[in-house]
Amino acid sequence: MKPYGKLTQGSIINSVKIDKYPDYQFYGVVITARCDIANCKVSKFYYLTAAPIDIWIKSEGMQIAVEQYYDKQLRTILKPWEDKLPDYEKLLNSPLDNIIKLLSTAKPIDGNDSDDFKQKKEQTVEKLSELSIYDSAVITKDASEKLFKNENIKSNIINALNSVLEEKHTHYCFIPFIGLDAVASDKSNFSKAEMINEGYIINLLDIGYLDYKTAEKIEKQELDFDKLTPEDLEYYNQFFCLNSKGDLIYPENIIISPYIEWIMQQFSQAFIRIGVEKPTHKDIKSYWSKKELFK
């Protein structure tokens, strides 16, 4: 049996699947309260998806970078049309296919559908069509390798990673290896740099769950490619990566205190956001002119 058999808050489950990134394997960090688990009060075990830094760069980090690049390029291409079309804002906020269709049939505000106008439309549609590679909802390994050659996208990835590591990106948090039980219990196999600089990036808004039956199978290490029936393999492959002999889904580590508590704190802040009225910078500046603080 592998270690960390029983699931609890902070358990890290291996080989979790995310449909948007079919070529990469992720992890699941259990966030269900440990007291509820201990008292058998749960029917579902909720988890947040996580990835080592290198996998995050190729998948979720790439997605962030591509979206930023796409948005900037799209706005640059459509900027000359801002004053020429009546539905420019609608155009800007539409999916790429819809933008191309809308632009192809668009009429100018002044009604002068000249040859020059038509030619510029065709040129713009051609430029927009070249953006299709950046408008994909799925990031495969091949696509990631090609996109990484774009220096602007690479720069966006670095900025996104820095934002996560500096705790400025509210959708993610980083847990260094020193926060894992297996590392904290035996530091001899890791350098100080590895323990602090390597780890998992957790997506605070990507929540999955295991039903009790699946959780029990994981604890008993029964989600085993070599033992599952073809029907069970087909079912569980919707959620996990069970592709070849030797593949086994199990809790391979656990996040220790105070890191697991910090994750839950970050999760609460990211997931439960309440919008309230706040003073603006202008309001704060005007405060001083309204109040006679020193009479």
What pLDDT digit, counting tens, does each position of 129-186 carry?
A: 988 888 776 888 998 998 999 999 999 999 999 999 999 999 999 999 999 998 888 8
Say which range, 84-98, 163-177, 241-255, 274-288, has the weakest mean pLDDT. 274-288
Per-residue pLDDT, 93 = 79
Does pTM top 0.75 for this prediction?
A: yes
Could you tell me if 158 and 171 are in contact, meaning their C-beta atoms sit under 8 angstroms apart? Answer: no
- What's residue 94's pLDDT? 84
Q: How confident is the model at residue 274 (pLDDT cuts 50, 70, 90)?
A: low
Task: Give percent of the chain with pLDDT exceeding 90.
Answer: 60
Q: How far is CA 169 from CA 136, 165, 226, in A?
A: 23, 8, 41
Contact in structure between 25 and 15 (CB atoms under 8 Å) = yes
End-to-end CA distance of the chain: 76
**Is the predicted pLDDT of residue 277 greater than 90, yes or no?**
no
Q: What is the pLDDT of residue 137?
A: 67
Predicted pLDDT of residue 104 = 82
Amino acid code (one letter) for 105: T
Structure tokens at 16: 């979790």
pLDDT digit string, tens, across residues 49-70: 999 999 999 999 999 999 999 9
pLDDT at residue 81 greater than cutoff 70: yes
How confident is the model over 205-253, as pLDDT tens digits? 999 999 999 999 999 999 999 999 999 999 999 999 999 999 999 999 9
Identify the sign of the CA torsion 225, 228, 231, 235. Answer: negative
The domain locations on the chain are 11-57+152-271, 62-134
Find, among 264, 272, 271, 239, the residue nearest to 10 by Cα: 264
